[in-house]
Amino acid sequence: MHVNIEESWIEQLKEEFDKPYFQRLTDFVRNEYATKTVYPPAKLIFNAFDSCPFDDVKVIIVGQDPYHEPGQAHGLCFSVNDGIKIPPSLVNIYKEIRDDLGKEIPISGNLERWAKQGVLLLNATLTVRAHIAGSHQNKGWEEFTDTVIRCLSEEREHLVFILWGAYAQRKGASIDTSRHLVLKSPHPSPLSAHRGFFGNKHFSTANKYLIAKGKKPIDW
**Nearest CA to 95 among 202, 210, 218, 208?**
202
d(CA 207, CA 216): 8
Q: Is the CB of residue 87 less than 8 Å from the CB of residue 67?
A: yes
d(CA 95, CA 220): 12
CA atoms within 13 A on the CB side of 18: 5
d(CA 111, CA 45): 16
CA atoms within 13 A on the CB side of 127: 24
Largest CA distance in the chain: 50
d(CA 122, CA 172): 12
Q: Is 219 a catalytic residue?
A: no
Helix (H, G, I), strand (E, B) or coil at 49: helix
- Say which of 65, 82, 146, 219 is annotated catalytic: 65
User: Residue 76 — φ and ψ, nearest 5°?
Assistant: -120, 130
Please state whether the peptide bond connecting residue 40 to the residue before it is cis, i.e. omega within 30 degrees of 0: yes
Residues tagged active-site: 65
